[in-house]
Amino acid sequence: MKNRMAHFVARASALTLIGAALATAAPAPDPALVAAVADPGRTATYVARDPARHPAEELASFGIKPNMTVVELWPGGGYWTEILGAYLAKGGGTYYVALNAPGDAEEDKGTERWRTRMAAQKDRLGVIHETMLGPKNMDIAPAGSADMVLTFRNLHNWMDGGYADDVLAAAFKALKPGGILGVEEHRGRTDKPQDPKAKDGYVRQDYTVALAKKAGFVLIGSSEVNANPKDTKDWVDGVWTLPPTLSQGDKDRAKYVAIGEADNFVLRFQKPKH
């Protein structure tokens, strides 16, 4: 298995170079997407993170359209849900959110907080179809129904849980032929082997490409909109040392705030049309 993954990573390294060549200026976000990001109904703490996360630019790089069927995997607190829900509701799209499958007490509390926050905004977010994603829950949307599946900074969690391959297979199954998988993740260093569990929260870009390729996807684009060269990726608590978590509390806080959020890659994959 180790040799097989090494083979995939070697091939993916070449594909990552191709992806770098594909990292061109993203199309300008359409006005409806800009309006969704600017919506005054969004949570103020999320709006404060927009300069680090570049939501309109990132979504535009994936090629999102307001009438699409979109699946968001593991929404966390709802940063992206608040944008995607409003955008798709106004554009006649269909929106699935695959929540953490029940079982972990802290994650279950997080799901309930997400539900409470989204319920308070239901008039502007429209209908959100809830599904579940976990080791034994991979039916994220009806097979062949989605135009786009999106995941933001979650891949390291699935690697840690040992089911990243299953998640990518579920995304492949949910997508229509020609559908798009958009992945944002904390970019790991290339001068050290990838920890298969990604315990520090960082994932090598070529390793991600290899995982997606193994699931049947083709890399068709990338964006450096969330790159951060200040992130040296050697922190005491991994990526959680940096904002927004700031795991060290007041210790060296100013230093970590000045560095900012992690260096993140943004990749666009496609399910082959035939």
Residues 6 or more apart whose Cβ sits within 8 Å of residue 255: none
Q: What is the pLDDT of residue 213?
A: 98
Is pLDDT above 60 for 4? no
Preceding amide of 244 cis, omega within 30:
yes
| Contact of 188 with 205, CB cutoff 8 Å | yes
96 residue type, one letter: Y
Residue that has been written with the tokens 């922190």 in this structure: 235
* CA–CA distance, 18 with 13 (Å, rounded to integer): 9
Q: What is the mean pLDDT of residues 219-244?
A: 98
Q: Which two tokens stand for residue 218?
A: 């083709």
Report, in this order, helix, strand and coil percent for the chain, each rounded to 5: 40, 20, 40
Confidence tier at 249 by pLDDT (50, 70, 90):
very high
Report yes or no: 95 and 72 within 8 Å, Cβ to Cβ.
Answer: yes
Write down the H helix ranges in the chain. 2-22, 31-38, 44-47, 50-53, 55-62, 79-91, 105-119, 122-125, 155-161, 164-174, 205-214, 253-259
Please report the pLDDT score of residue 103 as a whole number.
86
At 26 the pLDDT is: 66
Q: Which residues contact 64 (CB under 8 A, 6 or more apart)?
A: 33, 70, 87, 148
pLDDT of residue 90: 97
